[in-house]
Amino acid sequence: MEFEKRAKRVEALEAIKNKALSMANEGADSLAVRNFVIDAKKELAYELPDQEAFDKAMKATLAYKAKKGS
């Protein structure tokens, strides 16, 4: 992943963390905080996909399938 894209991803993850901590400190329900984090990370994955992580997961899947014999 190129440096600028990775830096934007890190900034976005920090923003998600800060918002979640803020929600928790304000007394938000833990389920609401968890759902916020999950949804925000999912949205981030669509906006800034991590091709390296995808490639790594794909290789692991193919290796597993080859080992299993499917």
If you search the block for the tokens 């976005």, which residue do you land on?
12
The residues near 24 (Cβ < 8 Å, ≥ 6 apart) are 30, 33
The residue extents of the domains of the chain are 3-68
What token pair was written down for 21? 């901590």
In this model, does residue 69 exceed pLDDT 90?
A: no
What token pair was written down for 32? 């609401």
User: pLDDT tens across 29-50, in order?
Assistant: 999 999 999 999 999 999 988 8
pTM of the model: 0.74
Structure confidence at residue 70 (pLDDT):
57
| Percentage of residues of the chain with pLDDT beyond 90 | 76
What token pair was written down for 12? 């976005």
In this model, does residue 1 exceed pLDDT 60?
A: no
